[in-house]
């Protein structure tokens, strides 16, 4: 093992940045909850412990009316006991619950002649039965469940088979009973599917379900004005579609003068459809959705569908999860947990020691012996004795070996009790060596202090003791009390690394396989790459609308290419006057990899090229082959960092 390194390192490699608060991942998970079905799991308590140990702050659940009340006034005691235990366990851990009030119990249906599930998708025969059920559930979980969603996807004919007016009546009556139970109850419109179903296509914006619903409830009419507190819809597809759906919602909301009411998106996500190569795409979609939603101050909360993969036999439905069917984390889980930064939680780790090694994106590694075994607890804080170390491991599915060039720079926060003088140090696994050191001075304020270190040349390939990625060294003479540590990736620029299996974040390489986007895999200068093989062949790239879209004119495009010859590459990009604005990049024959940055002040990334792309590269139509290693897009000004916009309280 190398000797301890705690000298001052040149801050060109790692500089102290302004203080930032911790609690980033917790704040982000208040804004992005999960849809889950603990009531359907063979071990609901274990399932709840998974949710709690994961740091989840909001859970959307959907126990059905017919499973609770099996006949008028007759309740399934065993099922209710299971629900009671779930609610109690989550509530005690400060996990908030969004309860969907759905669907019609078969015995109460207005269409008893139908089979399941159609019998449950029709309105109740008696509105009194519905009101009694809502009142029963609201009373049973008073103070523990305060947020209620009335039905699921009432605009989709697979989930609601009656009229808009009938749904309005269902909503109105639920609202009355929920507010009677407690004025503190919050009522959501059932999450809109934004499609009518059965091949009906998109259905959002003026004239569609929400517009018709609001027209039935104008202020001054009989009954409560606007029997809901929160708008609600579901958002799937690429982020360009998310933008269109939000715009459609805004059109209706503004028409009816309800701009002060927040929006929740109670389902969003991405299915791999069973293709394991798409798990990285799903993980990136977690980042895209949260980053993009931050641009909309009216979107208060969203829910990822779903926490774990079910086993329905439908490849699409069974592959939205953050975890497998056996509750094994997928890459998307670690991206979800690290939305605001991968962060330690010493209290959760102590409470769930059997779960947290796998369920934390950043984990304090506690060896049974050796130089990392001397750390001890002081409440929820940790103390590193003088001359000793505290080791940390980052989940490989979130960051390993710089993610192939996508994440070679990170920020690392350390919150510590600033006692005494001298230095402590962070020693991290870098491309130079496994224990590159950055010294942090103590200033003797006797207060808690957070420092942020900018680390470059990050490798994080598990090369430290215990397969760890970095460690804290207390220094030679004083112990170090630590309250928390966090690691954050950079979310500007968006980038693609063109290996044989391209890696990407916040943008994608459109690997067409056919047409004018055909390319081949190359290897030159010791690196894999993609080859523009001929004239009229292009490398296409689509930048996520969560990162940059029409309305973001100032961008830098950085292109890393093999610099052989004196000819040119051509970048063509979406601009207001053309989808193929051209910029030449002249080569200088260095016979090496070279990166050129092309600044743009007239970008209009509107997905307007072939394959809905925003930019493409060509060989300049001069007959040469061109080798491209990496493309990055930097947005000016930088996008919002995925941190909470306000209070983290529910």
Cis peptide before 228 (omega within 30 of 0): no
Q: How many domains does the chain fold into? A: 3
477 and 530 together in one domain: no
- The number of C-alpha atoms within 13 Å of 384 and in the hemisphere containing its C-beta is 26
470 and 535 together in one domain: no
575 and 454 together in one domain: no
71 and 169 together in one domain: yes
Question: What would the pLDDT profile of 85-136 be if each residue is shown by its tens digit?
Answer: 999 999 999 999 999 999 999 999 999 999 999 999 999 999 999 999 999 9
What's the whole-number average pLDDT of the chain? 93
Q: Among candidates 561, 569, 517, which has minimal Cα distance to 542?
A: 517
181 and 263 together in one domain: yes
413 and 501 together in one domain: no
Question: What would the pLDDT profile of 623-648 be if each residue is shown by its tens digit?
Answer: 999 999 999 999 999 987 664 443 33
Whether residue 3 is contained in a domain is answered as no
Taking a C-beta distance cutoff of 8 angstroms, is the pair 593, 630 a contact? no
Domain boundary pick from 463, 489, 515: 489
444 and 422 together in one domain: yes
User: Model-level pTM?
Assistant: 0.93
The DSSP annotation for 183-201 comes to: TT-EEEEEEB-SB-STT--
Question: What would the pLDDT profile of 305-360 be if each residue is shown by its tens digit?
Answer: 999 999 999 999 999 999 999 999 999 999 999 999 999 999 999 999 999 999 99
Q: Among candidates 358, 369, 365, which has minimal Cα distance to 472?
A: 365
Q: Please give the helix or strand (H or E) that residue 341 lies within, else none.
A: none
CA angle at 18 for the pair 16 and 19, rounded to the nearest 5° = 105
Q: Is the pLDDT of residue 225 over 80?
A: no
Whether residue 618 is contained in a domain is answered as yes
- What is the C-alpha to C-alpha distance for residues 139 and 137, in angstroms, rounded to an integer? 5
Give 21's pLDDT tier (boundaries 50, 70, 90).
very low
Question: What would the pLDDT profile of 471-488 be if each residue is shown by its tens digit?
Answer: 999 999 999 999 999 999
Q: Is the pLDDT of residue 28 over 50?
A: yes
Ramachandran angles phi, psi of 570, nearest 5°: -125, 125
Domain boundary pick from 268, 295, 327: 268
512 and 482 together in one domain: no
Taking a C-beta distance cutoff of 8 angstroms, is the pair 595, 497 a contact? no
Q: How far is CA 497 from the centre of its chain?
A: 21
Residue 3 gets which letter from DSSP?
P
How many residues are given for the chain?
650
Whether residue 30 is contained in a domain is answered as no
Whether residue 305 is contained in a domain is answered as no
466 and 513 together in one domain: no
Residues β-bridged to residue 365: 391
546 and 520 together in one domain: yes
Whether residue 333 is contained in a domain is answered as no
Supply the CATH number for residue 526's domain: 2.60.120.260
Whether residue 98 is contained in a domain is answered as yes
Question: What would the pLDDT profile of 527-580 be if each residue is shown by its tens digit?
Answer: 999 999 999 999 999 999 999 999 999 999 999 999 999 999 999 999 999 999
Domain boundary pick from 435, 463, 489: 489
484 and 558 together in one domain: no
Whether residue 42 is contained in a domain is answered as no
Taking a C-beta distance cutoff of 8 angstroms, is the pair 282, 272 a contact? yes
Supply the CATH number for residue 95's domain: 3.20.20.80
Domain that holds residue 349: 16-20+344-489
Give 255's pLDDT tier (boundaries 50, 70, 90).
very high
481 and 577 together in one domain: no
Supply the CATH number for residue 445's domain: 2.60.120
What is the SS3 assignment for 175?
A: helix
Q: Among candidates 42, 75, 44, which has minimal Cα distance to 61?
A: 44
């Amino acid at each position: 093992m190398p000797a301890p390194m705690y000298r001052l390192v040149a801050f060109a490699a790692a500089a102290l940045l302004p203080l930032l608060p911790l609690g980033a991942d917790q704040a982000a998970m208040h804004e992005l909850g999960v849809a889950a079905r603990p009531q359907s799991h063979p071990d609901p308590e274990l399932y709840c412990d998974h949710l709690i140990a994961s740091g989840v702050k909001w859970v959307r659940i959907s126990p059905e009316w017919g499973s609770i009340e099996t006949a008028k006034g007759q309740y399934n005691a065993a099922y209710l006991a299971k629900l009671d235990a779930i609610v109690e366990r989550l509530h005690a851990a400060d996990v908030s619950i969004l309860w969907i009030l759905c669907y019609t119990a078969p015995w109460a249906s207005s269409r008893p002649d139908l089979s399941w599930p159609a019998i449950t998708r029709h309105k109740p025969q008696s509105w009194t039965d519905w009101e009694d059920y809502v009142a029963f559930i609201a009373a049973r979980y008073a103070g523990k469940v305060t947020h209620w969603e009335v039905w699921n996807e009432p605009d989709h004919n697979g989930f609601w088979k009656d009229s808009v007016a009938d749904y309005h009546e269902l909503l109105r009556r639920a609202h009355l009973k929920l507010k009677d139970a407690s004025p503190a109850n919050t009522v959501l419109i059932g999450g809109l599917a934004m499609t009518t179903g059965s091949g009906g296509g998109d259905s959002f914006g003026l004239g569609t379900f929400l517009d018709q619903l609001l027209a039935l409830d104008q202020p001054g009419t009989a009954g409560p004005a606007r029997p809901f507190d929160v708008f609600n819809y579901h958002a799937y597809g690429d982020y360009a579609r998310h933008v269109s759906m939000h715009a459609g919602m805004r059109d209706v909301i503004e028409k009816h003068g309800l701009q002060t009411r927040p929006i929740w998106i109670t389902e969003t996500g991405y299915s791999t459809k069973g293709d394991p190569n798409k798990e990285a795409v799903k993980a990136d979609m977690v980042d895209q959705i949260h980053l993009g939603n931050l641009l909309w101050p009216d979107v208060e909360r969203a829910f990822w569908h779903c926490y774990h993969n079910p086993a329905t036999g439908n490849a699409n439905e069974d592959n939205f999860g953050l975890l497998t069917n056996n509750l094994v984390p997928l890459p998307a889980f670690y991206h979800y947990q690290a939305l605001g930064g991968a962060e330690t939680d010493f209290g959760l780790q102590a409470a769930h020691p059997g779960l947290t090694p796998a369920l934390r994106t950043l984990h304090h590694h506690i060896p049974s012996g050796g130089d990392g075994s001397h750390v001890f607890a002081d409440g929820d804080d940790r103390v590193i004795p003088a001359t000793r170390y505290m080791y940390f491991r980052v989940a490989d599915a979130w960051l390993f070996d710089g993610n192939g060039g996508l994440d070679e720079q990170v920020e690392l926060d350390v919150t510590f009790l600033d006692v005494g003088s001298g230095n402590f140090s962070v020693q991290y696994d870098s491309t130079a060596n496994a224990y590159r050191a950055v010294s942090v001075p103590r200033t003797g304020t006797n207060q808690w202090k957070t420092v942020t270190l900018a680390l470059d040349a990050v490798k994080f390939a598990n090369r430290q003791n215990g397969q760890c990625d970095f460690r804290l060294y207390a220094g030679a003479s004083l112990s170090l009390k630590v309250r928390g540590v966090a690691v954050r990736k950079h979310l500007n620029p968006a980038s693609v690394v063109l290996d044989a299996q391209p890696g990407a974040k916040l943008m994608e390489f459109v690997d067409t396989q056919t047409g004018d986007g055909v390319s081949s895999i190359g290897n030159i200068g010791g690196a894999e790459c993609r080859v523009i093989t001929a004239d009229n062949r292009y490398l296409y790239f689509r930048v996520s609308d969560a990162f940059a879209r029409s309305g973001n004119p100032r961008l830098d495009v950085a292109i890393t290419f093999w610099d052989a010859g004196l000819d040119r590459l051509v970048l063509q990009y979406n601009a207001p006057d053309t989808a193929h604005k051209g910029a030449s990049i002249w080569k200088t024959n260095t016979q090496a990899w070279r990166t050129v940055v092309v600044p743009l002040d007239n970008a209009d990334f509107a997905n307007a090229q072939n394959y809905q792309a925003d930019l493409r590269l060509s060989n300049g139509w001069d007959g040469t082959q061109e080798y491209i290693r990496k493309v990055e897009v930097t947005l000016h000004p930088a996008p919002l960092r995925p941190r909470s916009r306000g209070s983290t309280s529910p």
